Amino acid sequence: MSQRTMEAHYQPNWRLTQAHGLSGYNCGYAESPGCGTFDAHQRSLVWRLIGDTPIAGDTILLDIGCGIGGPAGWIMERYGPRQVIGVEFLSSSVHAARERASTMVRAPRFIQGDAQNLPLADGSIDVIFNLESALHYPDKRAFIRECHRVLKPGGVLCLGDITTPHKRLFALAALLNRVPTQFNSNVRLWTTRDYESAFASQGLAMDWHECASKRVSDSLADGLSEIRSRGWAASAGFRARCVYLAFLEKLLRAGRLNYDLFRLRRM
């Protein structure tokens, strides 16, 4: 994983968010097809993942892989925790997140860092939020160890990621990981069982799990319909990303990929 290849991968996402007034990159969660806008679906995925996790005025929440800061800002506005810290690998995304937060009365703090080596003290975090980011990490076990390290005893990890029951097939996509174009995959997918085993080995107890593939694929279908409704000319700069998202939607619907939501507690 390098800054160069990841920047190339995410540039079309940035152009898409700018064109459609979105503040997040996630795939979203639709309770039913056509029940809301893509922006609303993206927020729904955040609330679904957090669920009944206690977030109060004394909570310190860490958003790992925070992207351009949408979910971190939404969490700050909705729950009013003591602090929200966003850690993001890409310098351009950190800059965009800080710019977006500059108009907030109480804003998250955004820093550049690596999920596999977090720049935070042991036992300093109450809640970790990690959505659609871990699929990029070369060493997911190191990431999970870091989550355990920085969480307080009893702290909660809310993690949502794309997984696959066909890991060997999707391992071929890793051949594109070193190519600095928007078509590089930058993904190293685990199975659901891989995650469950790693959580257990690192002292993280499962509180809740949902396979949300159907809800996520419905959200993507709604989002792509919104994009298409504006016409071909309006999609200049991110047309290939729309093809990528349409392919992702089909793979999720067919069960070639899964979308797992986990809530875990540090024992």
Integer Cα distance of 176 and 180 in angstroms:
9
What are the domain boundaries of the chain? Answer: 3-259
DSSP 117: B
- pTM: predicted TM-score of the whole model, two decimal places: 0.94
Say whether pLDDT at 31 is over 70: yes
Report residue 177's pLDDT band, with 50, 70 and 90 as the boundaries.
low
Structure-model confidence comparison of residues 241 and 44, the more confident one: 44
Instruction: Of 105-109, 141-145, 171-175, give the lowest mean pLDDT range.
Output: 171-175
Say whether pLDDT at 57 is over 80: yes
What tokens appear for 46 in the block?
A: 């955040």
Please list, residue by residue across 150-184, b when 16 or more beta carbons sit within 10 angstroms of its beta carbon and e when fewer do: bbeeebbbbbbbbbbeeeeebeeeeeebeeeebeb
Instruction: Of 28-32, 40-44, 239-243, give the lowest mean pLDDT range.
Output: 239-243
Q: What is the CATH code of the structural domain delimited by 3-259?
A: 3.40.50.150
What tokens appear for 140 in the block?
A: 């997911």
